[in-house]
Structures are given as C-alpha cells and as structure tokens.
Copies of this chain bind each other. A is one copy, B any other.
C-alpha cells in the first residue's frame, strides 16, 4: 500500500514507522511545510521521499497529522486530489469542526475522522518512535459517513499499529477530551507559568522541585503551534471545564485560608477516588 503522511511530526512520524514495520506500507511518501522537518524525516528513513500535492493522486492512503486549524484548510483540497479508491484520515485532537468542514464534500465517504489518544510532550520528526500507539485508545467519529471500504482500510491501519478503536459523535468526543486531555494541558502550562513567575524573585527555587512537580508540569513543554488551534476549536467545552476547575481551586483556597483542614481532608479523600480509574 502506497501511504502518504502529511505532517511528519511526532504522530505522523510514529505512524509511518509503525506502518513500515507492520508491512502495511510498501511505500511511504511525505508532505511537510517545514523544509527542516522534511529533510530530517527523509534522513531518519521515516519516509522514502517527499512529494508535492500533485502526486497525491497516486496514494492508496493519506494520513493527515498537522495542527487542527491547518487540517481544516487542507483536508478539502486533499479530498479533491486523491484517486476515487483512496482513503484519507486525520489524527486531530478535535473532531467537531473538521467533520463540519467536509460534511458536504462529494468525497466525504473516503474520509475517516480519527483521534488516536497518544503522544508525548515532544514534537517534530525526531520525537517519533515505534510503539507510540501500542495499546492506546483511538476514537473514530461519524463512522456512518465513511464508506465501509474506507472504514475497513482504517481499521487495518489501527490494528496494525496497536490502537483499540471506539466510536463516538464529534460533539461528545470534543466534550470528553476537553476534560481528560485539554484541561490537563492547560493546568500544566499554567502551573509552569506560575512557578516560572515566582522564580524571578526566588532564585534556585527549582533545586527543590521533585518528581511530583515534574510529573504535573510535564505537559507544559508541549508545542504551542499544535495546542493553540486545538484550544481554539474546543474553546466552548474547554472554557466550561476550566471554569469548573477554577471553581474547585477557589473553594480549596477558601478552606485553606480559613484553616479548615477537615474540609481540605474531605476534598482530597474524594479526589483519591481517581485511584479507581488510574490503576498504576
């Protein structure tokens, strides 16, 4: 199968590596706006060569893994250019706008809207690695709007890289990821910012940072180019999640200021219930 990856970063690059290893891709082609990323991806052997959009018509499968705003712009063009038997999928972290964008496209049924819940705080082709998707969850939205052929090809791809696929409507998807993914990123970015701010006054503060801080602030290293468009597209749900989070923090701060340790203990005990979900 001739596969073109548009966007050779962490996700696209790791997809290419996995598809080559599994034998699904016999030929791997790349498109990337960044000449540096393109050169690196070829040098690392992630793709065989770079192509231009004109060559897209020769691909059996096109995987788009670029920031979600760019994806909304590019996807209609890609659907115009591909052969009638080709399949296109995206990997974006928001699904509502992208699905709306191509809802009326004549080739809509050749597209599968996917979101593999996988990643690290790193980006670019050097961040790509084999095994990123192994055992992770993948969400496919609007399955009814993809042809069964397209869904079949997509399923083979997901299986071959180790993704377990579940199905959801775009609104439901965006709401859920606002809480379990996007909010985590915001909390981490701003925890980092808060501590960097105080560092201006208090030198060597980071000598005291332990593994707990490192863990909660890890996502603050994530790429703003990737995340700003995600937050924009999911602004409504994320804003709501953020307000709820702020409300909880304010309540905690209120009890803290009152030295109401009993109430703080109660809040933490309730939060301990997260053990039920996170086994490790």
* Total copies of this chain within the assembly: 2
A184 at the interface (CB under 8 A from B): yes
Q: Is A190 an interface residue (CB 8 A)?
A: yes
Interface contact B193-A213, CB-CB below 8 Å: no
Q: Flag if B224 contacts A268 (CB, 8 Å).
A: yes
Cβ of A221 to closest chain B Cβ, rounded Å = 5
A194 and B221 in contact (CB under 8 A), knowing A210-B119, A252-B242, A257-B235? no
Whether B221 contacts A239 by the Cβ 8 Å rule is no
In the complex, are the beta carbons of A242 and B253 less than 8 A apart?
A: yes
Asked if B175 contacts A202 (CB within 8 A), the reply is yes
Cα distance, A176 to B270, chains bound together (Å):
27
A192 to chain B: which residues have CB within 8 Å? 271, 273-274
Q: How far is the CA of A191 from the CA of B187 in the complex (A)?
A: 8
CB distance from A186 to the nearest CB of B (A): 6
Give the distance to chain B from A72, nearest Cβ to Cβ, in Å.
13
State whether B183 touches A191 (Cβ < 8 A).
Answer: yes
- Does more than half of chain A's interface fall in helix, strand or loop, or is it mixed? helix
Q: A231-B261, A241-B194 are in contact. Are A272 and B181 (CB under 8 A)?
A: no
In the assembled complex, which residues on chain B have CB atoms less than 8 Å from the CB atom of A74? Answer: none
Contact yes or no, B274 A196, CB < 8 A: yes
The residues in A between 150 and 205 inclusive whose CB is less than 8 angstroms from any CB of B are 166, 173, 175-177, 179-181, 183-198, 202, 205
Distance in angstroms between the alpha carbons of A180 and B202 in the assembled complex: 12
Structural contact, A224 and B119, CB atoms closer than 8 A: no
Q: How far is the CA of A234 from the CA of B265 in the complex (A)?
A: 15
- A120 contact set on B, CB distance < 8 A: 211
Beyond A183-B191, A252-B190, A269-B224, whether A244 also contacts B197 by CB under 8 A is yes
Please give, as numbers and ranges, the residues of chain B lying within 8 Å of A179 by CB-CB distance. Answer: 194-195, 198, 202, 205
Residues of A43-94 contacting chain B, CB below 8 A: none
B228 lies within 8 A of A271 (CB): no
Residue A34 lies at the interface, judged by CB distance under 8 Å to chain B: no
CB pair B264 A231 closer than 8 Å: yes
Q: Flag if B274 contacts A190 (CB, 8 Å).
A: no
Measured CB to CB, the nearest residue on chain B to A235 is: B256
State in angstroms the CA–CA spacing of A252 and B243 once bound together: 11
Q: Is A245 an interface residue (CB 8 A)?
A: yes
Minimum CB–CB distance for A131 against chain B, Å: 13
Most chain B CB within a 10 A radius of its CB, from A181, A215, A270: A215
Most buried by B among A119, A121, A194: A194
A215: shortest Cβ distance to chain B, in Å? 5
Is there an interface contact between B218 and A180, defined as CB atoms closer than 8 Å? no
27 chain-A/chain-B pairs, Cβ below 8 angstroms: A119-B210, A121-B212, A137-B207, A176-B202, A179-B194, A181-B208, A181-B209, A181-B213, A183-B194, A187-B187, A187-B191, A193-B248, A193-B270, A193-B271, A194-B245, A197-B248, A209-B277, A214-B278, A216-B216, A217-B278, A221-B274, A224-B264, A228-B264, A231-B256, A232-B264, A242-B252, A246-B249
